[in-house]
Amino acid sequence: MLELKKRKTIFLTRKIPEIAFRLLREEGHIIELWDGTSPPTPGELIQKCQEADALLSMLSDRLDENFFKKCSHLKVIANYAVGVNNIDLKAAARYNIPVGNTPDVLTEATSDLALGLILTLARNIFPAIQNAKQGEWKKWEPLGFLGMELKGKTLGIIGLGRIGQSLAKKAQNGFGMNIIYTSRTKTKTINPSYKRHTLQELLKSSDIVSIHTDLNPSTENLIGHKEFEIMKSHAYIINTARGEIINQKALVGALKMGLIGGAGLDVTTPEPLSPNDPLFQTPNTIITPHIGSATVEARDLMATLATKNIIAGLKGEPLPNRL
C-alpha cells in the first residue's frame, strides 16, 4: 500500500532520451507521454496535468499565470532546457511549485553551434555547397566564394556566462580571435585578455557579434535598428540564445539595406518560423531550427538532470537545479 502511494505520475510533453524513462521507472513512477504530433496546446497541457503529480516541460510549453492557477496541485516542474523564459517563475513561486532547469550540460554543444554558424557565414559554406550540388562547379575559381579569416578578427560576445565563455575560449585558443564582451555582472574568474565594453562600443568594434544572454525584460529587443546602424557593414550577428533578443523586423531591414554583412540564427520569433517569413528572403542569412543543445551527449545529460529534478521534487527534497 505504502509502495503504491509513492508511485507518482509525470506528464512529459515530448519524447526525450530513454535515460529519463529508465530513471523514472526505477523509482516506480508512471510516465504519461503526450502522443500528439504537435506539442500540446495550453488547454491540452492544463487538462493533461490534472491527472499528474509532476510536469516535465519543453521550452516550447508556455506555463503562465493561468496554467499555475489551474495546476497548483503539481509537486514539481522540470524544464528540459536551461532557458526558462517560457515559465512564469513568479507565479510558480506564488503557488509554491519548485521549478528546475538543465544548466551546464549544453554549454559545449551550444558554443560549438555558434562557432559552426560563424564559420558557415565567414567562409560562405552554405552557398558553396549549393553551388557544387547544383552543377555550377565548372572550374576552380580564383575569386570565388572569398570569405573572411577569423584570425585577428574581433568577436563581441553579448553575455559572458557559461556559453559565452565557452565560445570565447574556443574562438581565442582555436582561431586566434580577439574577444570583447558585455556582461551585467562582474565575474572575477574571467580571462583578463577578454576586454569588457559597453554594448555600443562592442557593436562598433566587432567583426562578429554573438548573443549569449538570457531573455528577460531588459534583453528583449536589445538589438534593433539603432544597434545595426552602429555595427560594421561586414559584421555578422549570431544568435543561439533567444529570438526575442533581436528585433527581427529591424534585422530584416538591416540585412536588406546592407547595414550588416549577415546573420546566423538558431533562434527566431516565432518558433517555428514560417517558410514565408521575410527572414528567409534576406541575403547572407542562415537559419537552423533551434538545435543549440542537439547533441546526443547534451540531450542525454539534459534528460538525466530534468529527471533528477522531478525525482527530488516528488520526494519533497531540494531540486539539484532549482531556479
Binding flag, residue 87, ligand DGY (CB under 6 A): no
User: At closest approach, how far in Å is the CB of 241 from ligand DGY?
Assistant: 7
- With 0-12 / 13-18 / 19 or more C-beta atoms within 10 angstroms meaning exposed / middle / buried, residue 232 is middle
Residue count, binding to ligand DGY (CB under 6 A): 8
Q: Which of 20, 45, 105, 106 binds ligand DGY (CB under 6 A)?
A: 106
* Number of other CB atoms surrounding residue 83 within 10 Å: 19
- Judge residue 189's burial from the number of C-beta atoms within 10 Å of its C-beta, 0-12 exposed, 13-18 middle, 19 or more buried: exposed
Q: Is 293 in the site for ligand DGY (CB under 6 A)?
A: yes
By CB under 6 A, is residue 159 in contact with ligand DGY? no
Considering only the stretches 138-146, 228-236, 279-287, 288-296, report the one whose residues sit in contact with ligand DGY under the rule CB under 6 A.
288-296
184 is catalytic: no
Region of residue 265 (left: phi > 0; alpha: psi -120 to 50; beta: else)? beta
Q: Does position 313 bind ligand DGY by CB under 6 A?
A: no
Q: For ligand DGY, which residue of 170, 292, 301, 306 counts as binding (CB under 6 A)?
A: 292
Q: Quick one: 81 or 301, whose CB is closer to ligand DGY?
A: 81
Peptide bond into 272 cis (omega under 30): yes
Q: Which residues in the chain belong to E strands, given as ranges?
A: 9-12, 30-33, 54-57, 76-79, 99-100, 154-158, 178-182, 195-196, 208-211, 236-239, 262-265, 285-287
Is residue 196 among the annotated active site residues?
no
Look-up: residue for cell 577569423?
150
100 binds ligand DGY (CB under 6 A): no
Per CB under 6 A, 59 contacts ligand DGY: yes
Is 297 one of the annotated active-site residues of the chain? no
Among the listed residues 29, 197, 290, 299, the single catalytic one is: 290
- Contact region with ligand DGY (CB under 6 A), list: 78-86, 170-178, 184-192, 217-225: 78-86
Q: Supply the DSSP symbol for 139.
A: S
Amino acid at 205: S
Please say whether the beta carbons of 232 and 209 come within 8 A: no
Write out the residues near ligand DGY by the rule CB under 6 A: 59, 81-83, 106, 290, 292-293
Residues marked as catalytic: 242, 271, 290
